[in-house]
Amino acid sequence: MKSTSQPVVRDIILIGGGHSHVGVLKRFGMKPEPGVRLTVICTDVHTPYSGMLPGYVAGHYSYDDVHIDLGRLCMFAGARLFRDEVIGIDRAQRKVICRNRPPVAYDLLSINIGSTPQLKVSGSELAVPVKPIHGFNVRWQALLSRVQNHTRGPLRIAVVGGGAGGVELLLAMQHRLRAELKALGRDVNMLQFALVHAGAHILPTHNPRVRQTFERVLRERDVNVHLNAEVTRVDRGLLICKDGQQFDADEVIWVTQAGGAPWLKNTGLSLDREGFILVNNKLQTPDDALIFAAGDIATMRDHPLEKAGVFAVRMGPVLADNLRAALRDEPLQTYEPQKHWLALISTGNRYAVASRGNWGWAGAWVWRWKDWIDRRFMRKFSEFPPMSPQPANTTANTALKMSSEESLQAISAMAMRCGGCGAKVGATVLSRALGQLNVVHRDDVLIGLKDPDDAAVVRIPPGKALVHSVDFFRAFVDDPYLFGRIAANHALGDIFAMGAQAQTATAIATVPPGLEHKVEELLFQMMTGAVEVLNDAGCALVGGHTGEGAELALGFAVNGLIDENTPGLMRKGGMQVGDVLILTKPIGTGTLFAAHAKLATKGRWIDAALASMAMSNRQGSDILREFGATACTDLTGFGLLGHLVEMTKPSGVDAELNLAALPLLEGATETIAAGIVSSLQPANVRLRRALRNQEDFIHHPRYPLLFDPQTAGGLLATVPADQVQACVAKLRAAGYIQTAIIGRILPMGEALEPVVLIDA
Ligand SMILES: Cc1cc2nc3c(=O)[nH]c(=O)nc-3n(C[C@H](O)[C@H](O)[C@H](O)COP(=O)(O)OP(=O)(O)OC[C@H]3O[C@@H](n4cnc5c(N)ncnc54)[C@H](O)[C@@H]3O)c2cc1C
């Protein structure tokens, strides 16, 4: 997360992480625009590079070779990445509507979401659409294993659509599937391929020479090509065409012309016949000067172009410059599409055909040339120059188009504030942001957020005891909504670890100073995330305090209720000799987020870590109690060893901890091996004195993870040995899929050190 003293003055929201937006991010990363914040809202954290997709299918590239890591790129660009699907735009309110989070406000919007398959043919849901590519990849992996396990009779694979994409994909799939069968010593002829195309020629947008080359290749590779065959129905195992022709097909891949996403129809933006957004030659929508579009989703009103990644890429720099210019009220650049462009189309077997205007060349050298171009392109998005801090530049803000009131607020936000009342966020901002929240109703809350006073008043039901806890930490992710969810989860963790029910919470937050409406939006996003988690736990937010600070931070004082003399109370000190030690979530958040700040992680590692942090421990706690857990704590800043020692000590026992069994977040061993640890790690490492045999394990790759501080970590608990298998099975079924048995409890020995490591 890039921290900057610059208040945010304008928000550019980029919908989709397509080929144009990755170019925008790179340019803003190289030259940040002071006061401008970029936010990408995207369904995926890895952008597939279409040019290399067939090479990936053919088996020449790995997944990472052909995907731009949007997480790393956003980090480099200082942009926020919100993982979500956009389902609408409220142009009147200037908000982007997302499927799983509150609407996101914009000052300027850009759309680069590619095309959506138009599966209008009856039964086409039985087919595998090539877009979105991540969906195709899942189905492709399934097809690979289907072919590997298919032992009897032929397997017929049909590709519908004879454009460059369809032909290239078919040849790539055939090459790969045959290679897989050969490796298994099986007959490659069991696979039968067909290309079914509505037109009279394959590759209709390419010259006859290129077409002839592909006709020859398809013939040589025994592909049945059916021309003038417009598929009007798909049945299980059968393709039915308009003229009555029928073709057997066990697997159907759909690579026909796509269209615009259906939700665009409700935006009021002008669309073409296929539902793509009309833009002028500045890539701006004619209806709304605040909205731009690029790539497949945009149709240039005056120069309709073929839908190809090459145009999406070329639009990136112009789009970036025009977004900057639009914010400064400066003239926009014109995007001039090339009349002829070079298409390099591969045939699966490290051979490719170059096509440009009326020219065409083919050969293995064309493949090598394509490979060189593609890899060079990908390097632009994986190798970054060292990150330089954003200039703290007051004058730059003045270049942005702002009202005089906004300018005053921006200057005031930059100025040194006193630490007293000036450090408190304005009451109207706060009440407006909090007023939009839907806090769960509880009868025992007598005075809460709905009817605010100096303090909240809450009744403790008879026979109940109050369980108090407090937690607070600074934002380590740029997404305030997600951060709110994780902070609430983290704070509730203590209550659940005690086996209590959460009752009420008060929040304490700091937000960086800025324009009032930006601060309000930030608070609203963050508190919406938090309140959703609190509400799910039946915990009412009853009040709080928000102040200005250099960084976004959030914490909660949470109250829980428990029966006064309850046997369900789970203390740290209840471990019994013979109990089994279990952990409900994987560890590694400390090293992963330290590495994330250094651009040394993969987007999917961070994604998985965030998903784990956002998972509540509530159900886990209920399950542990059901199986008679004898002791429990939630893993936070002290790391696994620190929390374990907090339990063994008061329990008067020793513990055996199995390094091999530790559940780990994906990527944690890589980042630890790279020597990247959290800034809290050195303090935790002091606890190595609690290890009896640390000398034997000090070079073990997992050893440092014993000290890795966790955020919103899992529950560490002991369960009687006869209950543990059923308990683990239930925890896994409840979604804690990485729950693991990580050790056992031993009688206290003579040695001072309570923890013995094993690696079994
Ligand atoms: C098999 C095949 C091979 C191809 N080969 C080539 C080639 O060699 N050269 C070439 O020029 N073209 C090629 N193409 C065409 C190329 O794939 C497209 O033209 C290109 O991907 C378009 O890029 P884009 O940036 O518009 O969108 P995309 O690359 O499709 O990116 C869209 C992004 O938006 C995200 N998104 C979508 N909907 C939403 C939503 N509602 N909310 C949030 N995020 C969303 C997606 O997750 C994705 O990150 C090929 C196509 C196929 C099918």
Claim to verify: residue 490 and residue 578 sit in the same structural domain? no
What pLDDT, on the 0 to 100 scale, is given for residue 265? 97
Q: 634-654: buried (b, 16+ CB within 10 Å) or exposed (e) per residue?
A: bbbbbbbbbbbbbbbeebebb
E-state strands within 403-492:
445-447, 457-458, 464-474
578 lines ligand 1 (CB under 6 A): no
168 lines ligand 1 (CB under 6 A): yes
pLDDT band at 30 (very low <50, low <70, confident <90, very high): very high
pLDDT band at 411 (very low <50, low <70, confident <90, very high): low
pLDDT above 90 (res 450): no
17 lines ligand 1 (CB under 6 A): yes
Q: CA angle, corner 156, sides to 155 and 157, nearest 5?
A: 120
Domain membership of residue 350 (yes or no) is no
What pLDDT, on the 0 to 100 scale, is given for residue 202? 96
Measuring CA to CA, how many Å separate 394 from each of 28, 301, 408?
18, 39, 12
68 lines ligand 1 (CB under 6 A): no
Please name the residue whose Cα sits nearest to atom 2 of ligand 1.
165
370 lines ligand 1 (CB under 6 A): no
Claim to verify: residue 714 and residue 726 sit in the same structural domain? yes
pLDDT band at 17 (very low <50, low <70, confident <90, very high): very high
Claim to verify: residue 546 and residue 454 sit in the same structural domain? yes
Claim to verify: residue 79 and residue 188 sit in the same structural domain? no
Domain membership of residue 678 (yes or no) is yes
Radius of gyration of the chain (CA): 29
pLDDT band at 3 (very low <50, low <70, confident <90, very high): very low
Average pLDDT over residues 14-30: 97
pLDDT above 60 (res 50): yes
Q: CA angle, corner 55, sides to 49 and 58, nearest 5?
A: 140
Domain membership of residue 457 (yes or no) is yes
Average pLDDT over residues 79-86: 96
Give the CATH number for residue 678: 3.90.650.10
Give the CATH number for residue 502: 3.30.1330.10
CA of 341, closest atom in ligand 1: 11
pLDDT, the chain, mean: 91
Which residue did the predictor score with more confidence, 664 or 237? 664
169 lines ligand 1 (CB under 6 A): yes
Average pLDDT over residues 8-29: 96
Least confident of 285-294, 303-312, 642-651: 303-312
pLDDT tens-digit map of 499-546: 899 999 999 999 988 888 899 999 999 999 999 999 999 999 998 888
Indicate the SS3 state at residue 572.
helix
Locate 533 and state its tokens. 């988690």
542 lines ligand 1 (CB under 6 A): no
260 lines ligand 1 (CB under 6 A): no
500 lines ligand 1 (CB under 6 A): no
Angle of helix 164-183 relative to helix 208-220, nearest 10 degrees, comes to 20
Last residue of a domain, one of 199, 223, 256: 256
Residue 214 CA to ligand 1 centre (angstroms): 23
218 lines ligand 1 (CB under 6 A): no
pLDDT band at 436 (very low <50, low <70, confident <90, very high): confident
Contact 75, 599 (CB under 8 A): yes
Residue 164 CA to ligand 1 centre (angstroms): 14
- Cβ neighbour number for residue 727 with a 10 Å cutoff: 22
Please name the residue whose Cα sits nearest to atom 35 of ligand 1.
16
Domain count, the chain: 4
Cα separation, 578 vs 502, in Å, equals 31
Average pLDDT over residues 467-492: 94
Domain membership of residue 375 (yes or no) is no
pLDDT band at 451 (very low <50, low <70, confident <90, very high): confident
Residue 394 CA to ligand 1 centre (angstroms): 38
Contact 214, 343 (CB under 8 A): no
Please name the residue whose Cα sits nearest to atom 30 of ligand 1.
114
Marked catalytic residue, from 74, 98, 418, 421: 421
pLDDT above 90 (res 449): no
Residue 129 CA to ligand 1 centre (angstroms): 13
Residue 760 CA to ligand 1 centre (angstroms): 46
Cα separation, 328 vs 227, in Å, equals 53
CA of 98, closest atom in ligand 1: 42
Claim to verify: residue 246 and residue 197 sit in the same structural domain? yes
pLDDT band at 412 (very low <50, low <70, confident <90, very high): low
Indicate the SS3 state at residue 522.
helix
Claim to verify: residue 204 and residue 292 sit in the same structural domain? no
Please choose, from the candidates 583, 571, 747, the residue with its C-alpha nearest in 3D space to the C-alpha of residue 654. Answer: 747
Q: Is 74 an annotated catalytic residue?
A: no
Q: Evaluate the CA torsion angle 244, 247, 252, 258 in order and state its sign.
A: negative
Residue 269 CA to ligand 1 centre (angstroms): 21
Average pLDDT over residues 88-106: 97
Domain membership of residue 405 (yes or no) is no
pLDDT above 80 (res 336): yes
Claim to verify: residue 631 and residue 490 sit in the same structural domain? no
Which residue did the predictor score with more confidence, 390 or 262? 262
Pocket test for ligand 1, best of 24, 25, 42, 50 (most atoms within 8 A of CB): 50
43 lines ligand 1 (CB under 6 A): yes
Claim to verify: residue 175 and residue 239 sit in the same structural domain? yes
What pLDDT, on the 0 to 100 scale, is given for residue 306? 84
Highest-confidence segment of 354-368, 419-433, 446-460: 354-368
pLDDT above 90 (res 375): yes
Pocket test for ligand 1, best of 52, 84, 113 (most atoms within 8 A of CB): 113
Domain membership of residue 364 (yes or no) is no
Average pLDDT over residues 321-349: 93
Claim to verify: residue 241 and residue 267 sit in the same structural domain? no
Claim to verify: residue 137 and residue 78 sit in the same structural domain? no
Residue 68 CA to ligand 1 centre (angstroms): 12
Beta bridge partners of 715: 634
Please choose, from the candidates 279, 305, 303, the residue with its C-alpha nearest in 3D space to the C-alpha of residue 290. Answer: 279
Claim to verify: residue 106 and residue 141 sit in the same structural domain? no
Please name the residue whose Cα sits nearest to atom 3 of ligand 1.
165
- Asked if the peptide bond before residue 461 counts as cis, ω within 30 degrees of 0, the response is no
Full domain range(s) for residue 657: 570-760
pLDDT tens-digit map of 158-195: 999 999 999 999 999 999 999 999 999 988 999 999 99
What pLDDT, on the 0 to 100 scale, is given for residue 389? 56
Last residue of a domain, one of 295, 321, 338: 338
544 lines ligand 1 (CB under 6 A): no
Contact 112, 44 (CB under 8 A): no
pLDDT above 60 (res 1): no
pLDDT above 60 (res 390): no
Residue 168 CA to ligand 1 centre (angstroms): 15
Contact 680, 709 (CB under 8 A): yes
Last residue of a domain, one of 280, 313, 338: 338
Give the CATH number for residue 228: 3.50.50.60
Domain membership of residue 272 (yes or no) is yes
Claim to verify: residue 560 and residue 450 sit in the same structural domain? yes
Contact 346, 30 (CB under 8 A): no
Least confident of 327-331, 543-547, 725-729: 543-547
Residue 128 CA to ligand 1 centre (angstroms): 16
pLDDT band at 133 (very low <50, low <70, confident <90, very high): confident
Average pLDDT over residues 476-495: 94
- HSE-CB at 346 with a 13 A cutoff on CA atoms is 28
pLDDT above 50 (res 40): yes
Domain membership of residue 362 (yes or no) is no
374 lines ligand 1 (CB under 6 A): no
Please choose, from the candidates 38, 196, 180, 198, the residue with its C-alpha nearest in 3D space to the C-alpha of residue 110. Answer: 38
